[in-house]
C-alpha cells in the first residue's frame, strides 16, 4: 500500500471502504482489483504523448463471466469503463478520462484452440501478437498482421484499432483476418459478432466492432484466420539518392501490377540511427532505402523480384541487395522494427504520427512534412508503410524543454492538414483516440458524424464505455454527460 493510501486509511478514507471496489473484489479477487495510487497511475498512460485522467480501480479478469460482472457492477455504481490491452497505443485510446473502471485484459492470454484443417484459431484478447505467430509457425502457419509493436501488442488491441503492419500490403489488415468475436456489451450481455461461415447472416457487426477503439464493447474471444507460411521469400534492400526517388519507385511497382508482401521506406536519418545502434546492414550513405519483400512460389517470386529491381533501376536506384539467407533477412527486418526504439538514443521523447495519403502524393507530402518540421526546429525521422501510403513521421524532442511539446503538437496538426489536402485520411492503424478527435470534422460531414454516433449509441445508450474518445464534441454521446470524477473523499 502506498504512503497516500496508508494516510487515507489512517484517517478513515481508505479505498477499502469504497463499495465499488468491494463489489469488484468480490466478483474477481482482491489481488486482481488494483486500487493503489501508483498502480492506477501506471494504467493511466499509454505510449502516446497525450494526457488524460487517473484510472479508477484496475481490474484483471480471467474469464468472459468476470468481464460481465465488471460491466454490471460498473453500471450499478454509475461508473464508466475503459478496456485496456498492453498500453502500446499511440493515439490515447486507452487513456482514462475522468476516473473510469479500467478492464485490463492482459491476463486473458490463452490460445484456446487451433484448427489447422479449417485454418482458424480461437484466442483470448490478451494474447501477444508475435506469440501467436510463434505458436503457429511450427504448424506451417502464422497470423498475418504484424504491427511494429508486435512483440508487446495484443490481439484484442489490434482488433480495437484495426491494426496493420509491414506485411499487410498484400494480405490486408486485422479486419481481413478476424472471422468472429465474442463481445461483452456495455450492459453485460454476451454476444458474438461474425461467424465461421463464409457469409454469416445479418448485419456485419463484426466489421463495425473492429476498429471501434473500445467504444462498443469488450472482446473476450477472437477467431482469427491462419495464413500459410510462404513456400519462398525474397527480401530486397534498394538504396536511392533521395526519398522522392524511393517514393516514385513505390508507385511504379504497384502501377506495374506487382503487389509485394511488404514495401517499407526509411530516410537517411532513420538509416543512420538504426545502423549506429541496431546494425542491420543498411547503407549509411543512402538518401533513402526501400525494404521490399515478395512471397509465394519460388518461380513466381523470382519473376517479381527481377521486375521490381528493373523498375528501381529506372528510378535512380544506387544499390540493390538481396538477402541471401534467413539471417540476413531477419537482420533487415530487425532494423526496420527497431527504428522507433532506436530514436531514443538521440532524443528522450518522440511523437509517432500516423496518416495515409495516396501513393502518387507520397513524395510531395514528405517534402512538406520535412519542411514543416524544419521550420519549427524539430528533428524528424521518416519510416513508413510505403506500399499503402501509410506515413509515420517520427518527431524527436525533449519534453523537458519549455514550449517544445506545444511545437510538436502544432507540427502534428500540420501533418494532418497536409495529408487531408493531398486526399488522405486521418489514420492508417493507430486509431483516432483523443489524438485526432479535433480533426474528424475536417474529414467527415456533420451527417457522417451523427450517423457514427447513432451507431455507438445503439451499442451503448448510456455512453459508459470509453467515453470521450474518437467522435468530436457536438457529435458524441459523451456530450450528454460530464466525464465522471472520482467519488468525493475516496480517490486521490
Instruction: Identify the CATH number of the domain in which residue 277 sits.
Output: 3.30.70.2190
Within this chain, do residues 317 and 351 fall inside the same structural domain, yes or no? no
pLDDT digits (tens, 9 = 90+) for 282-301: 999 999 999 999 999 999 99
Looking at per-residue pLDDT, the higher value among 483 and 377 belongs to 377
Q: How far apart are CA 201 and CA 33, in angstroms?
A: 39
- Please count the other Cβ atoms lying within 10 Å of the Cβ belonging to residue 231: 11
Q: What is the mean pLDDT of the chain?
A: 93
Q: Assign residue 431 a region (left: φ > 0; alpha: ψ between -120 and 50; beta: otherwise).
A: left
Share of the chain above pLDDT 70, in %: 94
pLDDT of residue 66: 98
160 and 204 co-located in one domain: yes
Whether the predicted pLDDT of 475 surpasses 50: yes
Burial of 145 per CB tally in 10 Å (0-12, 13-18, 19+): buried
| Judgement on whether residues 224 and 236 belong to the same structural domain of the protein | no
In-domain check, residue 136? yes
In a domain, 364, yes or no: yes
pLDDT for res 489? 44
What's residue 242's pLDDT? 97
What domain range includes position 397?
Answer: 347-421
478 pLDDT higher than 80: no
314 and 355 fall within a common domain? no
Q: Is residue 285, in this structure, part of any structural domain at all? A: yes
Give the pLDDT band of residue 225 (cuts 50, 70, 90).
Answer: very high
Q: Which residue has the higher pLDDT, 173 or 479?
A: 173
Predicted confidence at residue 12, as pLDDT, reads 42
N- to C-terminal Cα separation, the chain: 14
The domain that holds 386 is classified in CATH as: 3.30.70.2740
Burial 424-454 (b: 16+ CB within 10 A, else e): bebbbbbbbbbbbbebbeebbeeeebeebbe
Query: Can you give the pLDDT at residue 55?
Result: 96
Q: Are 301 and 257 members of one domain?
A: yes
Percent of the chain residues topping a pLDDT of 90: 89
CATH code at position 181: 3.30.465.10
**In 10 A of CB 124, how many CB atoms?**
24
Query: Does 70 reside within a domain?
Result: no
Q: What distances in angstroms separate CA 353 from CA 212, 228, 250, 307, one per listed residue?
A: 19, 32, 21, 32
Please indicate, yes or no, whether residues 304 and 359 belong to a single structural domain of this protein. no
Task: Please compute the mean of the pLDDT values over residues 445-468 and round it to a whole number.
Answer: 95
Please indicate, yes or no, whether residues 193 and 257 belong to a single structural domain of this protein.
no
Q: Look at residue 106 and tell me if it is in a domain.
A: no
- The model's pTM is 0.92
On whether both 115 and 223 belong to a single domain, the answer is yes
Please name every residue paired with 101 in a beta bridge, in sequence order, or none if there are none. Answer: 81
Distance CA 442, CA 437 (A): 10
Single residue among 319, 340, 361 that ends a domain in this structure: 340
- Residue 213 and residue 115 share a domain: yes
Q: What is the pLDDT of residue 476?
A: 87
The reported pLDDT for the residue numbered 377 is 95
Q: Are residues 323 and 380 in the same domain?
A: no
- Report if residue 452 sits inside a domain: no
What pLDDT digit, counting tens, does each position of 48-58 carry? 999 899 999 99
Residue 393 lies in a domain: yes
Rounded Cα distance between 238 and 227, Å, is: 27
Q: Which of 149, 148, 394, 410 is nearest to 269 (CA)?
A: 394
Listed residues 309, 340, 371: the one ending a domain: 340
DSSP code for 423: T
Q: What is the pLDDT of residue 10?
A: 46
- What the block records as the C-alpha cell of 276 is 549506429
| Residue 314 falls inside a structural domain | yes
Residue 17 confidence (pLDDT) above 70: no
- Interatomic CA distance for residues 231 and 245, integer angstroms: 31
Last residue of a domain, one of 362, 386, 421: 421
Total of domains in the chain:
3
Say yes or no: 148 and 205 in one domain: yes
Is 241 found in the same domain as 212?
Answer: no
Amino acid at each position: 500500500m502506498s504512503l497516500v493510501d496508508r494516510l487515507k486509511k489512517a484517517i478513515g478514507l481508505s479505498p477499502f471502504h469504497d463499495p465499488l471496489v468491494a463489489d469488484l473484489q468480490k466478483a474477481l479477487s482482491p489481488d486482481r482489483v488494483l486500487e493503489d495510487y501508483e498502480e492506477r497511475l501506471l494504467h493511466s498512460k499509454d505510449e502516446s504523448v497525450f494526457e488524460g485522467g487517473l484510472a479508477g480501480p484496475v481490474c484483471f479478469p480471467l474469464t468472459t463471466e468476470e468481464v460481465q460482472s465488471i460491466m454490471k457492477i460498473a453500471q450499478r455504481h454509475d461508473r464508466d469503463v475503459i478496456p485496456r490491452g498492453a498500453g502500446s497505443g499511440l493515439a490515447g485510446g486507452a487513456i482514462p478520462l475522468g476516473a473510469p473502471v479500467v478492464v485490463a485484459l492482459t491476463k486473458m492470454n490463452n490460445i484456446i484452440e487451433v484448427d489447422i484443417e479449417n485454418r482458424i484459431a480461437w484466442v483470448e484478447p490478451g494474447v501477444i501478437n508475435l506469440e501467436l505467430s510463434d505458436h503457429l509457425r511450427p504448424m506451417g502457419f502464422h497470423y498475418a498482421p504484424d504491427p511494429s509493436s508486435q512483440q508487446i501488442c495484443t490481439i484484442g488491441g489490434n482488433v480495437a484499432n484495426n491494426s496493420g503492419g509491414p506485411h499487410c500490403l498484400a494480405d490486408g489488415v486485422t479486419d481481413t483476418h478476424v472471422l468472429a468475436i465474442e463481445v461483452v456489451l456495455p450492459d453485460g450481455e454476451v454476444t458474438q459478432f461474425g461467424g465461421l461461415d463464409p457469409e454469416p447472416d445479418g448485419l456485419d457487426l463484426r466489421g463495425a466492432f473492429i476498429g471501434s477503439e473500445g467504444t462498443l464493447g469488450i472482446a473476450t474471444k477472437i477467431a482469427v484466420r491462419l495464413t500459410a507460411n510462404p513456400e519462398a521469400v525474397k527480401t530486397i534492400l534498394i538504396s536511392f539518392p533521395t526519398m522522392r526517388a524511393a517514393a516514385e519507385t513505390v508507385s511504379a511497382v504497384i502501377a506495374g501490377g506487382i503487389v509485394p508482401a511488404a514495401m517499407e521506406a526509411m530516410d537517411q536519418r532513420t538509416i543512420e540511427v538504426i545502423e549506429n545502434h541496431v546494425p542491420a546492414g543498411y547503407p549509411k550513405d543512402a538518401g533513402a532505402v526501400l525494404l521490399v519483400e515478395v512471397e509465394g512460389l519460388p518461380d513466381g517470386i523470382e519473376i517479381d523480384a527481377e521486375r521490381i529491381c528493373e523498375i528501381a533501376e529506372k528510378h535512380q536506384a544506387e544499390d540493390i541487395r538481396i538477402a541471401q539467407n534467413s539471417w540476413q533477412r531477419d537482420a533487415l527486418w530487425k532494423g526496420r522494427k527497431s527504428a522507433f526504439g532506436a530514436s531514443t538514443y538521440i532524443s528522450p521523447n518522440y511523437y509517432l504520427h500516423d496518416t495515409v495519403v495516396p501513393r502518387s502524393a507520397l513524395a510531395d507530402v514528405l517534402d512538406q512534412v520535412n519542411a514543416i518540421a524544419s521550420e519549427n526546429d524539430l528533428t524528424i525521422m521518416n519510416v513508413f508503410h510505403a506500399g499503402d501510403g501509410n506515413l509515420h513521421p517520427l518527431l524527436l524532442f525533449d519534453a523537458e524543454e519549455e514550449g517544445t511539446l506545444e511545437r510538436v503538437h502544432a507540427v502534428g496538426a500540420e501533418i494532418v492538414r497536409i495529408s487531408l489536402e493531398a486526399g488522405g485520411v486521418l489514420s492508417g492503424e493507430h486509431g483516432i483516440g483523443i489524438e485526432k478527435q479535433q480533426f474528424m470534422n475536417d474529414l467527415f460531414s456533420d451527417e457522417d458524424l451523427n450517423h457514427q454516433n447513432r451507431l455507438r449509441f445503439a451499442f451503448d445508450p448510456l455512453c459508459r464505455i470509453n467515453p470521450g474518445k474518437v467522435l468530436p464534441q457536438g457529435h458524441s454521446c459523451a456530450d450528454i454527460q460530464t466525464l465522471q470524477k472520482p467519488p468525493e473523499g475516496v480517490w486521490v
